[in-house]
Amino acid sequence: MTTDPRAGPVLETRGITKTFGSVVANSDVSIRLERGEIVALLGENGAGKSTLMNVLFGLYRPSSGEILVRGEPVRFDSPRDAIKLGLGMVHQHFMLVPTLTVTQNIILGDEPSVLGHIRYRRARARVAELSARYGLEVDPDEKVENLPVGLQQRVEILKALYRDAAVLILDEPTAVLTPREVDELFATLRRLAEGGTSIIIITHKLEEVRSLSHRVYVLRKGKLSGERATLGTTASELARLMVGRDVVLSVDRPEPAPAPEPIFRMEAVSALGPRGLEALRGASLAVGPGEILGIAGVEGNGQRELCETITGLAKATAGTVRLGSDDVTGWSVARRMDAGIGYVPPDRRASGLVVQFSVEENLALGRSDRAPYSRARVLDRAATRASATGLMERYDIRASGPDARASTLSGGNQQKVILAREFSRNPKFLLVSQPTRGLDVGAIEYVYRRILELKESGVAVLLVSMELDEIFALSDRIAVLHGGRVVFESRADATNPAEVGEYMIRGAAAGPAARSEA
């Protein structure tokens, strides 16, 4: 770290408070960032991390408190003000125009021009120079839509550096990256810090915080609950500061009992994507009772089509889907659900819940026309309320009551509603996709425990996740989906994240070299 103690902080907040009506999102938050320092910001969902960063980047104005840049109080009325003073932000969801080139995206809104004519070659040369200087190799002329996620993130970082950012704020920067891309990103961030760039990283991955940052600030319920030098802290201590209690960060995964026949099988299944092109190509998988098969892969490699074909939301163009001895390929969604297929979808708000409905109504979705929720197809409100109350207690769903709208719940409690609904149906086979996306460490601990309880009861579980840590924590076997094909499969204890990551990036081309490199 290249800090100069005589220079003082490059960025500082003093007593920042931000309210939205009666809701206090940040309360008296003071942080500092030195030149060449990497600081991590941790906290549960709703802890106020994003609000604080939006205040720093000019998207929100603080209700009280002040921001100082190089010791001088400043006021940001918009992100443009923050950019002018050397702040850059890389959002979790990239702000890029897919049809434009790398250079066009980087200079967008800050085009060098003379007499109204953009000096594109000059801009391209500067992009190439920045790319080489910071080890952010990317083709300046390539369209962004043709770049993998890791390279798109480099474009976002270059966009900030092009505008002379002295401070970089990165929001969940590793959420969609493979292990190799994470290593490359961290190497880049360390180089930037060594060159004097100051960095704030928002992440929920505790081990990444410990491997990258110099200091850590932890927010809980809008207030600072702690500040630690990273070198002297542990993941358990950080989790305790985040949640306010001890959190079990590892899981004890029992071995699956050997079974002669799988509960679920898909054989050479193909399916079309939203553009009518083949997105799933001859995929074959099998999951036995009491087993968890983890599906790893870079997003957009057929995961959506895999889930929709298994659940009946999309039709297979080839191959068969089997549950036990039944060929369910042509069955409807409802018939598959009745036969014992459970589904936890990847986007709880878009496809897992009807957020305008109450918790009680969401828990009864798909079963409101049968016992115990109805009699002679007439909804039994008393039975529905009693069932919802019991599930809310069993699954620790924290809401004002069964009649609370799902939209008012936190992300973790929304996920618990879906888990309670699907698990209480006693499935034979459970497809669970991105089960902890956007959840904090306390909610993740809870979700893992519930999934393992189902495994122990003999349910076959297919886990689709972007988080390799999650795949390895829960899975007995691991398969990699690349280009709609299953390109790799192994027992979890016979492989490692580096090898799986190589197959995620290169597909079948990784071959035996991936294992030797790992």
pLDDT in tens, 320-348: 999 999 999 999 999 999 999 999 998 88
Give the pLDDT mean for 442-456: 87
- Comparing CA positions, the residue from 474, 471, 415 lying closest to residue 440 is 415
pLDDT at 171: 85
Strand pairing category for 460-464 and 292-296 = parallel
Query: Coil, strand, or helix at residue 513?
Result: helix
pLDDT at residue 395, rounded to an integer:
83
Question: What are the b/e assignments for 235-248, b being 16+ CB within 10 Å?
Answer: bebbbbbbbeeebe
248-340+426-518 is classed CATH 3.40.630.10: no
Does 515 have pLDDT greater than 90? no
- Comparing 64-78, 255-269, 353-367, 470-484, the range with the smallest average pLDDT is 255-269
Return the higher-pLDDT residue of 259 and 488. 488
Report the pLDDT value the prediction gives residue 412, as an integer from 0 to 100: 76
pLDDT, one tens digit per residue, over 379-401 is 778 888 888 899 998 888 888 88
pLDDT the model gives residue 274 = 78
In 70-112 the beta strands, taken as DSSP E runs, fall at 72-74, 87-90
pLDDT, tens digit, 9 for 90 and up, residues 8-59 = 899 999 999 999 888 888 999 999 999 999 999 988 766 888 889 899 999 9
pLDDT of residue 455: 92
Nearest to 240 by CA among 251, 248, 232: 248
Q: Above 60 in pLDDT, residue 517?
A: no
- Report how far apart the first and last C-alpha atoms of the chain are (Å, whole number): 30
Under a CB-based contact definition with an 8 Å cutoff, are residues 127 and 103 in contact? Answer: yes
Q: Residue 334: count other Cβ atoms within 10 Å of its Cβ.
A: 12
At 210-253, the pLDDT tens digits run 889 999 999 988 899 999 999 988 888 988 888 788 776 666 76
By mean pLDDT, which of 114-118, 119-123, 144-148 is the weakest?
114-118
Distance CA 83, CA 414 (A): 36
Which of the residue ranges 127-136, 176-185, 284-293 has the most confident prediction, judged by mean pLDDT?
284-293
| Chain length of the chain | 518
Q: What is the pLDDT of residues 405-421, one digit of tens each?
A: 998 887 778 888 998 89
Sequence-ordered list of residues with C-beta below 8 angstroms from that of 275, at least 6 positions apart, any chain: none
pLDDT the model gives residue 48: 85
Structure tokens at 159: 């966009």
Which residues make Cβ contacts (< 8 Å) with residue 296, sequence separation at least 6?
465, 468, 471, 478, 479, 480, 481, 500, 503, 504
Q: How is the chain split into domains, by residue range?
A: 11-243, 248-340+426-518, 355-424
CA 232 to the chain's CA centroid: 27
Residue 249's pLDDT is: 61
Q: Top-level CATH class of 11-243? A: alpha beta
Three-state DSSP at 16 gives strand
Task: Categorize the per-residue pLDDT at 5 as very low, low, confident or very high, splitting at 50, 70 and 90.
Answer: very low
The b-or-e profile of 201-229 (16+ CB within 10 A means b, else e) is: bbbbbbebbbebbbbbbbbbebbbbbebe
pLDDT at 258 (0 to 100): 63
| Phi (first) and psi of residue 228, to 5 degrees | -135, 145
Tokens of 358: 């109450």
- Stated pTM of the model: 0.72
According to DSSP, residue 201 is labeled E
Q: Which of 490, 353, 506 is nearest to 418 (CA)?
A: 353
pLDDT at 312 over 60: yes
- Both tokens of residue 252? 């004890």
Do 218 and 43 touch, CB atoms closer than 8 A? Answer: yes
Which residue, chain included where needed, has tokens 């669970």? 432
Angle formed by the axes of helices 179-194 and 149-162, to 10°? 20
For residue 182, what pLDDT is reported?
83
Tell me whether domains 11-243 and 248-340+426-518 share a fold: yes
| Rounded distance between C-alpha atoms, residue 250 and residue 236, angstroms | 10
Element (H, E) at 267: strand 264-272
Who has greater pLDDT, 203 or 263?
A: 263
Residue 368: is its pLDDT beyond 80? no
**How far apart are alpha carbons 466 and 283 in whole angstroms?**
19
pLDDT given for residue 6 in this prediction? 45
- SS3 at position 290: coil
User: Per-residue pLDDT for 207 more than 70?
Assistant: yes
Structure confidence at residue 296 (pLDDT): 94
Residue 66, pLDDT score:
95
Name the 3-class secondary structure at 39.
strand
Cβ distance 480 to 500 under 8 Å?
A: yes
pLDDT at 298: 82
